[in-house]
Structure 1
Amino acid sequence: MKSLKLDPPKSLAQRVMLRLRQGIIDGEFALGAAISEEMVAQSFGVSRTPVREAMGQLQAQGLVVIRPQVGSFVFTPSAEDITALCTFRIVIEPKAAELACVHDRAGAIAAMEAAIAGMEQAVAAKDNVAYGRGDTAMHEALFAHCGNRYLQESYQLVSGRIATLRTNLSSPIDVRTPESFEQHRTLLRLFERGDFTAFEKLMTTHITNSGKTYARALQIA
């Protein structure tokens, strides 16, 4: 009989990292805010060692900047960062959508429909955190179902920063104005029809508008 093995539990540092990561994405820690290792350790009831390790992991994800002898801070993007990030998304997301349609069309549509349903509820409740999570799920569905791990890994390198900017800067506006939500619904319809020329055009507009919103919110345009 083949031996059965349980997946090892997440390390303490991994659990701390995941909790801090979600806190940064959800806006519990503002962009540029200092994160005290001592306060985090006390809050979680752990030593500073796993917290320090978690901070290193978050720095590798681009969510935290560690300044030796100064402290750890949530990232703050420059205008150049935002432009580069949006360009990256404009290049990679339409291709992920095309591949997802070929590889797992039904799965991608189901995931996007679920995300849009969550966004619709968030709009009704004016809940920008829930909207941001739904928005993130909508875009990540393209990669989850594209069948190409290199595209997935490339997106994961920046997914935390994208989600953080989305929830903190654009979602508060999106839950009060219909344009972004309607664009997501149109993107789903275009995906269902397989019209990727129109999909790419709208996705480019959608991401470009997001970048402008980020820059205005940070006053770095």
Structure 2
Amino acid sequence: MPADARFKIETSKSLATRVAERLREAIVDGEFALGAMIPEEQLATQFGVSRTPVREALNQLQMQGLVIVRPQRGSYVFEPTEADIAALCQFRCAVEPAAAELAWAHDPAGTRASLQAAIAEMDTARSARDPVRYSRADTRLHEAFFAHCGNAYMQAAYATAAARIATLRTHLSAPGDVADSRGHEQHIALLAQFDAGDFAGFRALMAAHVDGTRARYVQRLAVRRAEG
């Protein structure tokens, strides 16, 4: 293959990846509503690219579970059902305590530092009443267990759902979390249990924390649908 053709292919892939990264950020941070149509032509114009890298980016995001591509109809931000939310919460309750215990054995100091930094950032976000900033810090806290667990398979398993978890956090729970301290207090308690190596207590608290999140998600979705 001629060198110039090879370089064109690499450039195209790189461009699609950059578009996908920006769109992922926009979806996770709430710039697109759950279930919203994603206008390919408008995005291509805004990015200053053809529709091809935009479509490739959307296909990448579909693999992450953020986008639903419907042939002949267009691309849409995912919108979960109650069953989807329940399954996602079951997944979190199974893998997060396991990752936390591995992180405690593999890199307790690094994990603790990441948790403390995330909690400090959540404090700042709550003071500023900034739900997006709070959601980002909340995501960093939960992802810290996987980042420090030392198990690539555990990290890969969580990555299959991480983008959806972060998106739902921004759209459905963070607005309430900046005003209601209960979730934040649970994060602080999770750090204390991690420090103590109390993973029976950690698992029980994580289950309560995630179950409260599930209830808020379902409630917020019902309100959204009632509002049309």
TM (normalized to structure 2)? 0.92
- In the alignment, which of 164, 172, 176 is matched to residue 173 of structure 1? 176
| Paired position in structure 2 for 1:17 | 20
Q: Distance in 1 between matches of 2:121 and 2:159?
A: 22
Listed one character per residue, the Cα deviations across residues 78-125 of structure 1 (whole Å, up to 9, x for unaligned) are 011000000000000000000000000000000111111110000000
| Paired position in structure 2 for 1:187 | 190
Higher helix proportion: 2
User: Structure 2, unaligned stretches of length 5 or more?
Assistant: 1-9
Alignment length (residue pairs): 213
| Paired position in structure 2 for 1:29 | 32
Q: CA shift at 1:142, angstroms?
A: 0.2
Q: Distance in 2 between matches of 1:213 and 1:18?
A: 28
Q: CA shift at 1:178, angstroms?
A: 0.5
User: Structure 1, unaligned stretches of length 5 or more?
Assistant: 1-7
| Paired position in structure 2 for 1:150 | 153
State the one-letter code of the partner of 2:35. Answer: G
1:107 and 2:118 correspond: no
| Paired position in structure 1 for 2:80 | 77
- In the alignment, which of 45, 65, 68 is matched to residue 65 of structure 1? 68
| Paired position in structure 2 for 1:56 | 59
Question: Percent identity among equivalent residues?
Answer: 56
What does 1:83-102 correspond to in 2, within 5 Å?
83-102=86-105
Secondary structure at the residue paired with 1:11? helix
Secondary structure at the residue paired with 1:72? strand
Secondary structure at the residue paired with 1:162? helix
Q: Distance in 1 between matches of 2:122 and 2:18?
A: 27
Listed one character per residue, the Cα deviations across residues 32-86 of structure 1 (whole Å, up to 9, x for unaligned) are 0000110111111111111000000000111000110001000000011000000
| Paired position in structure 2 for 1:4 | none
Q: Distance in 2 between matches of 1:215 and 1:15?
A: 33
